[in-house]
Amino acid sequence: MNQLRRKKLLAGILVACVCSAADAADKVPTLSDVLKASGIDVSGYIDVTYSNFDTDSVPAFTSGNITEKNSFNINALDVAVSSLPASGAGGLVEVMAGNDVGFHHSRGWQTNDVDLLQIYTQYAFSGLTLMAGKFLTLAGAEVPQNTTNPNISHSLLYTNAIATTHTGLRGTFAPSDALKFTVGLNNGWDIMKESFTGGPVSNCTAAGSCADGKTIELGVAATPSKQIGLTAALYSGEEFSSLSNQIGNRQLLDVVGTFNVTDALAFVLNVDAADQEKASATGGKAKWNGVAAYANYSFTDKFRGSLRVESFDDKQCFRTFCGTGSQKLQETTVTLGYMIAKGFEVRGEVRMDDSDKQVFTKSGSATDKQTFLGVEALYKF
């Protein structure tokens, strides 16, 4: 009897030890847990796509980051490391590698394979945040990181109407959670070095005069209610024109409105208007404007859809390099996304582009239409 009790006691102790070890293993912190406890966040994503266009070649002014006619693409491996406390000093470094770099990178960064998409330091106190370095533009409804965008391809407005990043100084003041003001001074549109002379587009004229003047940015963001969000951004400063080989002042006004009708349905409207002096091939002012509308709907927690309809008017062919005259572009995009697992989404997309000029080619013949079919696998970590 005593022997039986001893066996039961030993078995109980063994089970308890195994359970304790299992619990301890479950509670072992991951590297991410350790970093977060130290105030450091690490995040990123992997973006792989298949693209198919029905045209012979793909003009960059349409889909922007996706230009392969019939190909599997490593669009991006993006990793961001940051420490951005609500009060005190902090900073962020975001590195992107892949096909998207060729479209998003700034002039003065000497590679098309790996990009420092963002790198800045900041100091925050009493609702005021001061930043110095390279950061994303205030303008637009879309961003370089496709995990945040509802579609696979970028919009005409993102591709042609606005910048991607700016390098300089930025200050934001938030008097409340619902209102934020931004003012900044930077090198210009997608420029790390104003005097950069390499690559397909230079900031300097043949005589050596560079667009080294600075660009002012002003922004306001308001969320008066849970249903409504509004942002506006104004940019003004010197930019170089490769069409006229001259430098002129460029101005952009960008407005984005978000309307959350229900938890499942949201509408987004983005309007842009811009111009640049001494920019056209004849040295006159170039103007461009556009509007993009989005309808995003979640059918279930895992299954969603997005409709994007937009138009872009390049009045002097300055932004789309379409030759003489002007070009008006329109596109309609339908995207479906399914969240297979946490952080892992698969998307399918159909996009149709139309122009009032025959800027596309099919089987060697000029045409004014282009169709895109795409599949995307996105893993966010």
Q: Among 37-41, 172-176, 229-233, 281-285, which stretch is predicted with the lowest mean pLDDT?
A: 37-41
Choice between 31 and 136, residue whose per-residue pLDDT is larger: 136
Sign of CA dihedral 76, 81, 84, 90: negative
User: DSSP secondary-structure letter at 378?
Assistant: E
Judge whether residue 329 has pLDDT over 90.
yes
Q: Which of 270, 248, 54, 19 has the alpha carbon at shortest distance from 151?
A: 270
Judge whether residue 17 has pLDDT over 70.
no
Alpha-carbon span 158 to 190, nearest angstrom: 13
Please give the model's pTM, rounded to 2 decimal places: 0.88
Judge whether residue 258 has pLDDT over 80.
yes
Q: Could you tell me the pLDDT band of residue 202, with boundaries at 50, 70 and 90?
A: confident
Judge whether residue 128 has pLDDT over 60.
yes
Choice between 49 and 283, residue whose per-residue pLDDT is larger: 49
Residue 30, Cβ density class (10 Å: 0-12 exposed, 13-18 middle, ≥19 buried): exposed
pLDDT of residue 3: 56
Q: Could you tell me the pLDDT band of residue 8, with boundaries at 50, 70 and 90?
A: very low
Alpha-carbon span 283 to 327, nearest angstrom: 18
For tokens 């979640």, the residue is 298
Q: Which of 211, 203, 232 has the alpha carbon at shortest distance from 137?
A: 232
Rg (Cα) of the chain, in Å, rounded? 25
pLDDT of residue 21: 47
pLDDT tens digits, 68-112: 999 999 999 999 999 999 999 999 999 999 999 988 888 887 667
Choice between 198 and 234, residue whose per-residue pLDDT is larger: 234
pLDDT of residue 199: 62
User: DSSP secondary-structure letter at 148?
Assistant: T
Q: What is the mean pLDDT of residues 282-301?
A: 96
Alpha-carbon span 137 to 235, nearest angstrom: 10
Choice between 39 and 142, residue whose per-residue pLDDT is larger: 142
Judge whether residue 304 has pLDDT over 70.
yes
Compute φ and ψ for 246, nearest 5 degrees: -130, 170
Q: How many CB atoms lie within 10 A of CB 212?
A: 16
Compute φ and ψ for 20, nearest 5 degrees: -65, -40
Compute φ and ψ for 321, nearest 5 degrees: 50, 50
Judge whether residue 135 has pLDDT over 60.
yes
pLDDT, averaged across the chain: 90
Alpha-carbon span 141 to 225, nearest angstrom: 19
Judge whether residue 303 has pLDDT over 50.
yes
Residue 228 β-bridge partners: 259
Range list of H helices, the chain: 2-26, 31-37, 60-63, 101-104, 156
Q: What percent of the chain clears pLDDT 70, i.e. is strictly above it?
A: 88
pLDDT of residue 204: 79
Q: Could you tell me the pLDDT band of residue 195, with boundaries at 50, 70 and 90?
A: confident
